[in-house]
Amino acid sequence: MTRGHIEIIQTAEQPTTDLESVGWSFDSHAQVLSQDSETEAITLVLQLPPGYRRWAGTHEHTAELYVLSGFLTIGDVTLGAGTYQLLPGGVMQGQWRADEACSVWMKTDGTPKFNPNRGGGERLPDPLNTTKMDWIISPIPGPPCGLLLKPLRVDTETGASTFLSGIVPQYHYPFIEYHRCVEESFLIRGDIRLGNSGLMTAGSYFYRPPYISHGPFYSHAGKLGLSSTDAPLDNHYIDDPFRSAEQNLADSQYEAPAPNLLST
């Protein structure tokens, strides 16, 4: 893992780059939130202009999409705001089309290279319209009542996950914690104040390597966020919000692996 700690950045303040160099059409623009310098795995927000088109083809590595605004059509399937789509590496995708401006969160497992007009005969997984999914009470012990989840993708082997998280207005999470996994999160709407790092509003993002201390939390309006981990998520509570990752690692290194409590 070669991504550093990012806490907190705002999407609108990130420079815009194009994806033409990795095989995308010339008008594919993105704001990069974080990228692994070794594997080139990336998390970004795509900004697709009205009339956007991209050829049929495949991504070299598995990608995940969540439509933030507008409509994105892939082949003959149209994804509206709030839709999640898994795009396995090497599986053929139809042409991308956006007749109006469209904003899309995207995360890849490796380089975001696109190969036009190349791919196997496998079928893409069905998209998830998250607006019609039921919320579940978080199965991960620790948080006070008021935190809800919509699991979108869970790897049964590694425990890596992607999920929506929602919290109610005036939510107070009075604890300081760390996790033994990577945690990254993009705020779709609402607000949440992180006691030792600042205020997140719509478009805010963080990337935390394992063992980073954070908290406590408070949300005035409630929030909807999109989060992912690289292993099962578990909560470890401490007293010092500025306790070092090295200290947290030393305390937890003899504990059993975290159980995988999320499922889709």
Evaluate whether the domain defined by 133-252 bears CATH number 3.40.47.10.
Answer: no
Find the mean pLDDT for residues 120-140: 92
Q: In whole angstroms, what is the distance from residue 118 CA to residue 91 CA?
A: 9
Of residues 122 and 262, more confidently modeled: 262
How much is the pTM?
Answer: 0.96
pLDDT above 70: percentage of residues in the chain? 98
Asked whether the beta carbons of 126 and 236 are under 8 A apart, the reply is no
Find the mean pLDDT for residues 164-186: 97
Find the mean pLDDT for residues 95-122: 91
pLDDT for residue 263: 86
Q: In terms of Cα–Cα distance, which of 74, 166, 82 is closest to 129?
A: 82
Q: Which CATH class is domain 10-126?
A: mainly beta
pLDDT above 90: percentage of residues in the chain? 93
pLDDT for residue 2: 80
pLDDT tens profile 184-195: 999 999 999 999
Residue with structure tokens 């939130």?
A: 33
Q: Quote the mean pLDDT of the chain.
A: 95
H-run or E-run covering 248: helix 245-252
pLDDT tens profile 27-38: 999 999 999 999
Within this chain, domains 10-126 and 133-252 share the same CATH topology: yes
Q: In terms of Cα–Cα distance, which of 226, 219, 222, 223 is closest to 173?
A: 219
pLDDT for residue 120: 67
**Does residue 178 carry a pLDDT above 80?**
yes
Find the mean pLDDT for residues 232-258: 94
- Domain boundaries in the chain? 10-126, 133-252
pLDDT tens profile 210-235: 999 999 999 999 999 999 999 999 99
